[in-house]
Structure 1
Amino acid sequence: MNWERHYNIICGIVRGILYLHEDSRLKIIHRDLKPSNVLLDEAMNPKISDFGLARLFDAGQSQDKTGRCVGTYGYMAPEYISHGHYSVKSDVISFGILVLEIVSGRKKSWLCNTDDVELLLSYAWTNWRERTASNLIDQTLGDSSRSEITRCIHIGLLCVQENVAYRPTIASMVQMLNSDSSSLPTPAFLIYSDIERDITLLESTARASESEQSRNRDGVTYLLVH
């Protein structure tokens, strides 16, 4: 898998989300975008799958609220975890995390050398702030496309900003990915302090006791921790 294929997968995913948000007859919020819900065909074209948690929005609707948080921790927006608010920007933050995973070759969390859980978002923000973004790049991708890869990291960080208003729309991300000449705004650094602490605890518990699933009385999964 060279960088060109990685890049085509990123672009394919964003086109799929654009279709759901703007081009389909119904406006669809997926709410559970993650690697296992992106399938690849024989030509390595990505297909978004598993719409069990998806919600339909009216044409003029911008957000909604739920009393029960569903989805996969690590890919959820902070406003969704804290207050149950979800919108098209919820899928944007999930996409940003997917981009960072594709570029880095790392999962949203992993065990670092000290046996502590390292969160990809914290790692990415720290290296971007310290101008060491190259530390985030999967070394198997080589050096020939570093500028394009770094641009994808930049776009990914724009997607995962804590402030909903600062996150780009999917349509604007298509333009960002299709043009390497347009300048990108500077990401506003985020600190999901309480949320990251909760996710770290969940991830540690999951590794100690295997994957845990919480189900409602209808048998529908509403919390899945890998």
Structure 2
Amino acid sequence: MSILDWPAEQRPREKLLAKGADKLSDAELLAIFLRTGVKGCSAVELAQQLLCSFGGLNALLKADLNAFCQAKGLGSAKYAQLQACIEMTKRFLTEAITRGDLLDSSHACRDFLLLQIGNRRHEVFIGLFLDNQNRVIEYVELFQGTIDSAAVYPRVVVEYALKLGATSVILAHNHPSGIAEPSKADLLITDRLVKALALIDVRVLDHFIIADNQVISLAETGRL
């Protein structure tokens, strides 16, 4: 049965317009993105198959061009559309966290960090440098490492803080392993950075650990 034959309240697009995007399942959202199914398979059914095949929405969004295009009903045009959607979301969140007090936009900050580094295959260590109004001066990818670790040098972070005139910084890095729990090395480098930045009167407000869809705040968990 075609989606057009479904009751209007069950069709993904109509349901979104009537109830909001947050009321839709992953499959329904993906079906709207796909727009059409394939022979003998509606868009929602195709979406469900794709989510099962990739292992969920997060894995689908992380897929590279080759893996994406090998899936039934997908191709380079859909891949380009998806990457454009992801990039627009990143830019929207960037505007959200740079327009005002970052501490009043904690959800936007977490979403921004998840999109920026949550899907990286290698470890990335970043800094959000803030002014005295807690507004973002600049987002900086400070270090990149292997699948296991990134070499983090406090001197480099201090230099960026001085150059940008920052009064505080939020740190974040990803765990490509998918396990967000901070390691002993994470806690050690956080302590070193806090002490190094304190010498130039720059506060470390938080250090976020990102893994897939998980975000752990060292400040909130009392480890900063």
Using structure 1 for the length normalisation, give the TM-score.
Answer: 0.25
Which has more radius of gyration? 2
- Specify which structure has the bigger relative contact order, considering alpha-carbon pairs within 8 angstroms and separated by 6 or more residues: 1
